[in-house]
């Protein structure tokens, strides 16, 4: 969805890149703060991008067809977005939000999050949509058949990186409550103009620790030096 990215790019101020690191699972870029993104690329070799010294030069790669470059771009954007103001903010994680809002509701989740088995008995019905379905998941191609029955929708923010968000957004209905989840989530009012009701991401609280954790090639949920951060429309 080109319009989202055009607006996000207008929100950021250009600044120098302090450091940039990629692991098999994550990307982190530090400018005015540390911005995160899931690494959807086929590689974590970002050596050819280390010559880029300012945030705009990386952020503009959001229009690339290369998933590593788009992942880098989201991390760059997230590192330079202004702090959001005049919104309700909490420190719950995405699972807690889905549990709270989803009691006695039909809940849809786009992306096979680690918490789906734990969430299933706590909601009325749980539908998990995946591009590469695991046992019990529903193919993402079947989303349109279920969306009208879903009350609460949790979406991985990687839908912004893999360019699937527009197709999802176009099927939202007026009674749907949506939560964008994961480290790639842009903490910006812009997202509220494109169908998102709650932004559930993370902030890095200890940059030195977090960057050192990346050297261990951990999954994001295993890392230290960061905290959950939610912003409500």
Partnered with residue 230 across adjacent β-strands are: 90, 200
Q: What is the mean pLDDT of residues 71-97?
A: 95
- Nearest 5°: the CA angle 192, 195, 200 is 60
Q: In this predicted model, what pLDDT tens digit does every residue of 133-146 receive, in sequence order?
A: 988 999 999 999 99
- Domain spanning 2-84+206-224: CATH 3.10.20.30: no
Partnered with residue 126 across adjacent β-strands are: 107
Where in the chain is CATH 3.40.50.11590? Answer: 88-200
In this prediction the pTM is: 0.95
**What is the structure's pLDDT at 137?**
94
**What is the structure's pLDDT at 95?**
93
Q: What is the mean pLDDT of residues 29-44?
A: 97
The span from the CA of 39 to the CA of 161, in Å, is 9
Where in the chain is CATH 3.30.390.100? Answer: 2-84+206-224
Alpha helices in 35-185 (DSSP H): 55-59, 67-80, 94-102, 116-119, 143-146, 158-161, 165-169
pLDDT at residue 99 is higher than 90: yes
Closest C-alpha among 87, 108, 105 to residue 192: 87
- Strand 19-22 relative to strand 26-30, pairing: antiparallel
Structurally, what CATH architecture does the domain formed by 88-200 represent? 3-Layer(aba) Sandwich (3.40)
pLDDT at residue 1 is higher than 90: no
Confidence label for 230 from pLDDT (cuts 50, 70 and 90) = very high
**What is the structure's pLDDT at 22?**
97
């Amino acid at each position: 969805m080109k319009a989202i990215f055009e607006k996000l790019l207008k929100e950021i101020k250009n600044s120098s890149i302090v450091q940039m690191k990629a692991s098999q699972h994550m990307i982190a870029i530090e400018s005015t703060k540390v911005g995160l993104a899931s690494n959807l690329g086929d590689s974590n070799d970002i050596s050819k991008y280390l010559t880029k010294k300012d945030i705009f030069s990386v952020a503009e790669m959001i229009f690339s067809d290369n998933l590593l470059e788009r992942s880098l771009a989201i991390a760059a954007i997230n590192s330079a977005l202004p702090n959001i103001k005049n919104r309700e903010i909490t420190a719950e994680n995405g699972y807690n939000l889905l549990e709270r809002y989803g009691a006695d509701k039909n809940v849809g989740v786009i992306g096979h999050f680690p918490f789906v088995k734990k969430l299933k008995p706590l909601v009325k019905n749980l539908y998990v949509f995946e591009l590469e379905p695991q046992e019990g998941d529903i193919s993402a191609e079947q989303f349109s058949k279920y969306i009208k029955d879903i009350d609460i929708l949790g979406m991985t923010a990687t839908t912004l990186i893999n360019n699937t968000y527009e197709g999802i957004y176009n099927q939202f209905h007026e009674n749907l409550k949506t939560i964008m989840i994961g480290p790639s989530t842009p903490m910006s009012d812009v997202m509220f103009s494109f169908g998102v009701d709650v932004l559930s991401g993370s902030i890095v609280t200890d940059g030195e620790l977090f960057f050192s954790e990346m050297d261990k090639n951990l999954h994001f949920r295993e890392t230290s030096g960061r905290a959950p951060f939610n912003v409500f429309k």
